[in-house]
Structure 1
Amino acid sequence: MSGVTGATAAPGLRAHPPEVSAARARRWGSLYFAEHVLRVMKSYGWTIVMYGVGQPVAYLFAMGVGLATLVDTSSDAGFGGVSYLTFIAPALLVSAAVMAAASELTFPVMDGFKWRRIYYGPHASPLTPQQIALGQIIAVTVRFLLQSAIYFVVVALFGASPSAWGWVSILVATLTGLAFGLPLMAYAASVTQDKGQFAMVMRFIVMPLFLFSGTFFPLDTLPLTVRWIGWISPIWHGTELGRVFSYGYQEPPLLTIAHFVFLLVLTVVGWVLTKRQFIKRMAG
């Protein structure tokens, strides 16, 4: 007897015809590339959790629980009528998304063009530069959403988001990450030689924005010499929006709209510049 009695042969796998695969790539190419980026992220998932969530939670304990005991007892006026912990929680949520953007949209983008050149393989298929760029953005947006949701749960457990609309701060943090990250992504796509540019971005752009954007104290308590940093900072605009939804921070409605428009305009401009830069790099 030859073969195994009772065994049935599995049906053979068949590939799609080239024209079908090409049509699917043209239609769903961004999602295909996003899946690839997410699978790469999965390989260092614990690093993402520890850096994207662990670090701001450590800040939350240190500043919101430790320092807050001193600030709340020494300030009768408080911070808009809420505890210091409630005041800084939206800022740390937004800042975590911006830090993640600075991590995911600098070296990984340059890596796609220069070192491992992972953008060029998909580009040899029917995927366009725009789809590849959008796929990267979709994957990073998923990271922003997940880490912001986890961090918000921690904030809620501390009772630092008393409003029923507090969950909207997850979306605000994600939008802020994109508003900061997409212009940075466009810049990263233009860099051809690593000469410490991204380290300078972290040191001279990200950190000043983090420190002077009303993160730990209201922006109007800072001197005018540094207050302007907050006015142009996505972190400040995102933080103010987050505070509106987290605990009902009182500000003029037009200012709330201005915060949203500012972040949205930065996101759209960043996408236009990124798309243009990806097309330019892959056409050469």
Structure 2
Amino acid sequence: MSESMPTRTLADAGGVDHGAVARRSRTWGWWFVAEHRIRAMRSYVFSWVGLGIGEPFLYIVGLGFGLGMLVDANQGEQGVDGVPYIVFVAPALALAAAMQTAAQENTYGVFGGFKWFPMFFSMGGTPISAAHIVLGFQLSVLVRVLLPLTAFAVVMIVLQLGTVGGALVLIGIGLLLATAFGFAVMSWVSTQTDDRGQLSFIERFVVVPLTLFSGTYFPLETLPLLLQWIGWISPLWHAVELGRTALYGAAIEPMMLLVHVGYLVAIAVVCCLLSIRTFAKRLDK
């Protein structure tokens, strides 16, 4: 027993190079987090796909054709914004659905990741950083949002609501909106340590009012000036203006185009940094 036993590495014992895994985690941690979330979605994939595909048909047929017939009858050939009401409202419905989905995923998904099923703390115990968790989680949300956006685009193409290229561009606008609004919701929810009913406030007092007062169902200019400011600060309104320009060529000044895009990007960047800061603080405790 005088001779020392040969040292065996973990790689020799288990066939796993833990150092290499750690290095990959530091580089690709964001993808590992996204993959984990995407795989978890398989547990409710049927309801996810069913709602994602069925919702566009119900909304566009119900509001576009149903309410649209009444609006067009009153407006005459001029329609709304120079197009039939169904064309006017279709991009707004798609973008509102993207915002609502992003809000739902970032409300209970983020809170649950800290409180109910604390996977974030487990991830934080690995070489995966807080930034990777934030970015990976948001990437998985975009995958969730992509299905209804694509379904809306297909319905618009089939019904010939605008141009094919515009419907495809609308998908990109919806993903930008979901990123901005998702990070905004995440930056607040990640600061909450106990659920006292405040999580439902996002749906009731943020998502619903923004949907109603962001020029979704009618032009923002028809609202009293006292209420128009809600649309001006709403990410949804900025996205809807871009969406209508993309789908059917709604008039927009070049400067306002930059304002709409810049506003959404600024919200996404600022709220992403705030989320990373909050995640890092909570995971270090």
Same fold at TM > 0.5: yes
Describe the SS at the equivalent of 2:119.
coil
- 1:80 is aligned with what amino acid? D
**Which position in structure 2 is the counterpart of 1:4?**
none
**Which position in structure 2 is the counterpart of 1:233?**
234
CA RMSD of the aligned region, Å? Answer: 1.6
**Which position in structure 2 is the counterpart of 1:8?**
none
Q: Structure 1 residue 49: deviation in Å? A: 2.8
- Range with bigger deviation, 57-66 or 209-218: 57-66
- 1:234 is aligned with what amino acid? P
Q: Structure 1 residue 53: deviation in Å? A: 4.3
Q: Is the 8 A contact 1:52 1:96 kept in 2?
A: no
Is 1:123 aligned to residue 128 of structure 2? no
Q: Structure 1 residue 14: deviation in Å? A: 6.3
- 1:168 is aligned with what amino acid? V
Q: Structure 1 residue 123: deviation in Å? A: 1.7
Q: Is the 8 A contact 1:212 1:229 kept in 2?
A: yes
Q: Is the 8 A contact 1:163 1:247 kept in 2?
A: no
Q: Structure 1 residue 50: deviation in Å? A: 3.7
1:23 and 1:112 map into 2 onto residues whose CA distance is: 24
Alpha-carbon deviations, 1:168-205, whole Å to 9, x = none? Answer: 11010111111111011011111001011121111111
The ranges of structure 1 where at least 4 consecutive aligned residues each deviate by more than 6 angstroms after the TM superposition are: none
**Which position in structure 1 is the counterpart of 2:168?**
167
- Range with bigger deviation, 239-248 or 45-54: 45-54
**Which position in structure 2 is the counterpart of 1:23?**
23
Is 1:42 aligned to residue 42 of structure 2? yes
2:240 and 2:147 map into 1 onto residues whose CA distance is: 18
Describe the SS at the equivalent of 1:216.
coil
**Which position in structure 2 is the counterpart of 1:201?**
202
2:44 and 2:131 map into 1 onto residues whose CA distance is: 26
**Which position in structure 2 is the counterpart of 1:114?**
115
Figure out how many residues of one structure are paired with residues of the other and give that number.
272
TM-score normalised according to structure 2 size = 0.91
Describe the SS at the equivalent of 1:115.
coil
TM-aligned CA distance change 1:111 to 1:148, over 3 Å: same
Alpha-carbon deviations, 1:68-92, whole Å to 9, x = none? Answer: 1111121032112211111001101
Q: Is the 8 A contact 2:138 2:182 kept in 1?
A: no
1:38 and 1:223 map into 2 onto residues whose CA distance is: 43
- 1:44 is aligned with what amino acid? Y
Is 1:54 aligned to residue 33 of structure 2? no
Alpha-carbon deviations, 1:111-142, whole Å to 9, x = none? Answer: 11111101122221211111111110111112
- Range with bigger deviation, 66-75 or 229-238: 66-75
1:161 and 1:281 map into 2 onto residues whose CA distance is: 47
| Structure 2 unaligned blocks of 5 or more | 1-12
Q: Is the 8 A contact 1:60 1:85 kept in 2?
A: yes
**Which position in structure 2 is the counterpart of 1:5?**
none
Q: Is the 8 A contact 1:163 1:245 kept in 2?
A: no
1:80 and 1:131 map into 2 onto residues whose CA distance is: 43
2:57 and 2:166 map into 1 onto residues whose CA distance is: 21
Q: Structure 1 residue 228: deviation in Å? A: 1.0
**Which position in structure 2 is the counterpart of 1:141?**
142
Answer 1 or 2: which has greater helix percent. Answer: 2
1:200 and 1:14 map into 2 onto residues whose CA distance is: 49
Describe the SS at the equivalent of 2:115.
helix
Alpha-carbon deviations, 1:133-173, whole Å to 9, x = none? Answer: 11101111122223211221112212213363331110101
Q: Is the 8 A contact 2:33 2:137 kept in 1?
A: yes
TM-score normalised according to structure 1 size = 0.91
Where does 1:87-102 land on structure 2 (aligned, <5 Å)? 87-102=88-103
**Which position in structure 1 is the counterpart of 2:221?**
220
